[in-house]
Structure 1
Amino acid sequence: MSVPRLPLVVTADPDLLDDLLRLAAAGGTEVVVAADPVEARPRYAAAPLVVIGADQASACLRARLPRRSRVVVVGRRAWPPGAAEAIAELRPVEICLLPDGEPWLVDRFADGPGRPLGRILAVIGGTGGAGASILAGGLAVTAVSAGHRTLLVDADPLGGGLDLLLGWERIDGLRWPALAGGGGRVDPPTLLRALPHRGDLVLLSFARDEAPVVPGDAMAATLDAGRRGRDVIITDLPRQLDEAAVLALQSADRAVLIVPAELRATAGAARIAQTIRFHRDELSVVVRGPAPGKLKARDIAAALRLPLAGALRPEPAMCQAVERGAPPASTGKGPLAELCRRLIRDLMRERRAVA
C-alpha cells in the first residue's frame, strides 16, 4: 500500500513552525518539514500543498523553484523585510498572515492527503494546425465517458476556442476575463459551478468580445480548483508560452506534444520541445498523419528525442462531425477515441499509484 503524499512546509522559524504544525493537525494531516529550499526541492513538485514561511520567501525566489499551483506563503502578523518583494516575484502564490488567517489555512491543510487530487494533462501543438485543440477536446470527452469529473481549460489565446469545438458557445458561465478580474483567490466549488458545464464536463474558455489574456493568478486559481474538485484536468496550451501557460505546464502530471507527420513540422516542433524541456522533464509526442513523405511516427519521435505516446490516422468522418457541432471522440470510435482512452487510462493509473 502506497504512502499518501503530505503537504510540504518550508521554514526555519521555530515559532512559525509550531503554528503551522498546530494548524496542520487541526486540518487532520501531518506534514513534511524542510528548513530551506535546498532541502525542499526533492519534494516540492509532488507535494499536494506547499506552505512557505515568510522567512524563506526570498531564499525560495533565489533558488528558482519550479512554478506550480497550491503554494501559500505564510507570515506571523507582518511580513519581514524583503518578504513582500519576494512574494511579488514568486507569484502566483497565495498569502496568509497569522493569526487572522488561521481558519483559512486549516481549510487548506484539510484539503491535503485525505483524497487524491485531480490529474493534469497538458496538450501543446508542435506547429499551427497540429490538432492540439481536437486532441484536448477528445481527451476531455473521453475522460467524462470513462466516469471522471473533468475540467477542460482553453489556455491558447490564439486558438479557435474550445467552446466552439464543443458547440458550447451559447452556454452561460464565466469566461477568462471574468475570472481574471477576481484577484486569483476564489472558492474552488464556487468557481467550478460558475463555469459552463454539461454533466461532468466543465469548460473554461475565452470570451469573444474581450482581449484574450490569461493572468498567472487566474490560472493558478483554476488549476487549484481543478485539482481539488475534478478527477481530470486537460489544458490546451499555446506554443508561445506566457506566464499562465508556463504555470500550467509545470503543474501538469503529463504533457503531450502533437506533431503532424511532416519534415518541416517536425523541425518546428523540435524548437517547441526544447522550450518545453526548459520548464519540465517529462514530455511525449503524438504524431498525426497522413505522412506525405512516408515518415514513420517512431522516426519522428526519435528525431525529437521524445517517447512516442501514439499516432493518429486521418478521420474525415470525425472532422465532418466536429464541423456540425459534435465534440471530438464523442462516438467513442476511431483512432482519436482509442488514443484518448489509453492516455486517460495511463493518467488515472498514475493517480491511483500516488494516492
Structure 2
Amino acid sequence: MTGERPLVVAADETVLDEILRVAAIAGCELDRAPDLTAASGHWARAPLVILDEEAARLPPTLPSRGGILLVCKGSPGPATWEHAFRVGVERVISLPDEESELACAFADIAETPAEEPGLVLGVVGGRGGAGASVFAAALALTADRDPGGALLVDCDPLGGGLDMLLGLEKTPGPRWPDVRLSGRVSVSSLAATLPRRRHRGGSLPVLACGSKGQGPSVESLSAVLSAGRRSGRTVVCDLPRSLDEPAEEVAVRADLVVLVVPLEVRACQAANRVLPRLSKLTARLGVVVCGRSKSPAVRTATLLGPPLLASMHPERGLWTEVERGEFPAKPRGPLMTAASQVLTVARREARAASR
C-alpha cells in the first residue's frame, strides 16, 4: 500500500463492487481493508477514506480525521446518519443516485487539475465536404505536440468516421457506442484505451463514432469536455452541420468554434445558413477559408461576420492522400500551418478571457 490511494473499508460485497466500478471510471486506484482494525496502518495517510454502513456501525477505534465518506445503498435512514456522525463522516453518498459525487471525489485524487486548463475547440463545415473533419484532425495533431496533449472527438455519427480518416478503422479500442460516461471521469484513463494516430510529436487518441451505432450523448460528451479541460488537454470536436444537441453542448462550452468555408459562392451561402444558429450558441467564432479564387467568393467570405482566423491555399496531393487513408501531416504545408495559426489564436483568447 502506498498511502497515496483512497482507502476503502467495506464488508458489503454489493456496495464494494459499486465503489470499485465508480473508481475505475474515474481512473482511481484504491487500497482496501475488510474492517477498521485492518485499516489502522493506512488510516491517517490515505487522502480519502470510504466506508460502507457495516464499517460505520463499529465503535470508532481509530483517531479522528477529515475526508471520510460513507457510501450506502438507497436513501440513508436515521441509523445511518447516527453512525456517520459518530465516526466523523464528512458526507453520506447514496448509490445509485449520487454516483457522480463519488466519481468526483475519486477524480480529484486521481487527476490533479492542471495549472493551465485545457482548451475545447469545435470545427464545423460551412457546407458538406468543406474539409472540416480534415481540419479538425490537423488541429488535434498540432495541439498534441504540446505537453498537455490533445484528444480528437468525433461528434458527427453520420460522417465518414474520424478513425477511417486517420487510418484507424481496424485499430482496436472503444468508439462512442461503447462509451457511456457521466459526471467526473479521468480523460487520461479514457485516452489510454482509445485508438491512437502516431505522429512525429507523439500519438493522438481518437474517440470516433464508428461505423454503426449512436454518436455521443450530451452527458458523455460533457463529461469528456470537463475532464479534458481539467487535465490541461486540448479537446478538438468535429461537429455536424446539423448542430444536434451534443454539438450544441460543445459550441456553448468551446473556447473557439471554427467554421471551415471553401472559397466558393455557394459554400459561402451555405455557411450563412449555419452561422445564425452558431451565433445564438456562442460569440467565440472564427472562420478558416480554403482554396484559391478570384471570384466574389473571397469578398463574401470576409463578410460572413466572424473574424478570419486563417486562409489555406490548396495543398498538392492532400485529397488524394486522404482518399487513400494516408492522412498527411506535412508540418509546413498549408493545412498544418493554418491549424497552428488557429491554435495560437485560441490560446491567446482563452488566456485573455481568464484574466
In structure 2, which of residues 210, 213, 221 is the aligned counterpart of residue 211 of structure 1? 213
Matches within 5 A, 1:263-278: 263-278=265-280
Measured against aligned partners, the alpha-carbon deviations of 1:70-100 in whole angstroms (never above 9, x if no partner) come to xxxxxxx97xxxxxxxxxxxxxxxxxx9532
Aligned to 1:68: none
Aligned to 1:285: 287
Aligned to 1:253: 255
Question: 1:105 Cα shift?
Answer: 4.8
Aligned to 2:92: 99
Q: Is the 8 A contact 2:152 2:207 kept in 1?
A: yes
| Residue 308 (1) aligns with residue 308 (2) | yes
Aligned to 1:336: 335
Percent identity between the two aligned chains: 38
Q: Is the 8 A contact 1:312 1:336 kept in 2?
A: yes
The structure whose residues are more often helix, as a share, is 1
- For residue 256 of structure 2, what is the amino acid of its counterpart? R
SS, match of residue 128 in structure 2 = coil
Question: 1:308 Cα shift?
Answer: 0.8
Give the Cα–Cα distance (whole angstroms) in 2 for the partners of residues 192 and 252 of structure 1: 20
Aligned to 1:262: 264
- For residue 260 of structure 1, what is the amino acid of its counterpart? P
Question: 1:304 Cα shift?
Answer: 1.4
Question: 1:280 Cα shift?
Answer: 0.8
Q: Is the 8 A contact 1:301 1:307 kept in 2?
A: no
Aligned to 1:52: none
Aligned to 1:177: 177
Question: 1:239 Cα shift?
Answer: 0.7
SS, match of residue 264 in structure 1 = helix
Tell me how large the CA RMSD over aligned residues is. Answer: 2.8
Seen in structure 2, the aligned counterparts of structure 1 residues 184 and 194 have a Cα distance that, compared at 3 Å, is farther
- How high is the TM-score relative to the length of structure 1? 0.65
- For residue 163 of structure 1, what is the amino acid of its counterpart? D
Question: 1:230 Cα shift?
Answer: 4.7
| Residue 135 (1) aligns with residue 147 (2) | no
Q: Is the 8 A contact 2:209 2:216 kept in 1?
A: no
SS, match of residue 238 in structure 2 = strand
Give the Cα–Cα distance (whole angstroms) in 1 for the partners of residues 114 and 335 of structure 2: 35
Give the Cα–Cα distance (whole angstroms) in 1 for the partners of residues 91 and 294 of structure 2: 63
SS, match of residue 99 in structure 1 = strand
Give the Cα–Cα distance (whole angstroms) in 2 for the partners of residues 343 and 136 of structure 1: 11
Question: 1:146 Cα shift?
Answer: 4.9
SS, match of residue 316 in structure 1 = coil
Q: Is the 8 A contact 1:163 1:203 kept in 2?
A: yes
Seen in structure 2, the aligned counterparts of structure 1 residues 212 and 287 have a Cα distance that, compared at 3 Å, is same
Q: Which runs of 5+ in 1 are unaligned?
A: 1-76, 79-96
Give the Cα–Cα distance (whole angstroms) in 1 for the partners of residues 114 and 139 of structure 2: 27
- For residue 345 of structure 2, what is the amino acid of its counterpart? D
Give the Cα–Cα distance (whole angstroms) in 1 for the partners of residues 229 and 235 of structure 2: 7
In structure 2, which of residues 200, 204, 212 is the aligned counterpart of residue 201 of structure 1? 204
Q: Which runs of 5+ in 2 are unaligned?
A: 1-73, 76-89
Q: Is the 8 A contact 1:260 1:266 kept in 2?
A: yes
The structure number with the bigger radius of gyration is 2
Give the Cα–Cα distance (whole angstroms) in 1 for the partners of residues 118 and 177 of structure 2: 24
Seen in structure 2, the aligned counterparts of structure 1 residues 339 and 187 have a Cα distance that, compared at 3 Å, is closer
Matches within 5 A, 1:34-49: none
Seen in structure 2, the aligned counterparts of structure 1 residues 165 and 294 have a Cα distance that, compared at 3 Å, is same
Aligned to 2:159: 159
Q: Is the 8 A contact 1:141 1:327 kept in 2?
A: no
Give the Cα–Cα distance (whole angstroms) in 1 for the partners of residues 260 and 275 of structure 2: 10
Question: 1:346 Cα shift?
Answer: 2.5
SS, match of residue 152 in structure 2 = strand
Seen in structure 2, the aligned counterparts of structure 1 residues 146 and 104 have a Cα distance that, compared at 3 Å, is closer
What count of residue pairs does the alignment treat as equivalent? 257
Aligned to 1:65: none
SS, match of residue 160 in structure 2 = coil
- For residue 318 of structure 1, what is the amino acid of its counterpart? L
Aligned to 1:26: none
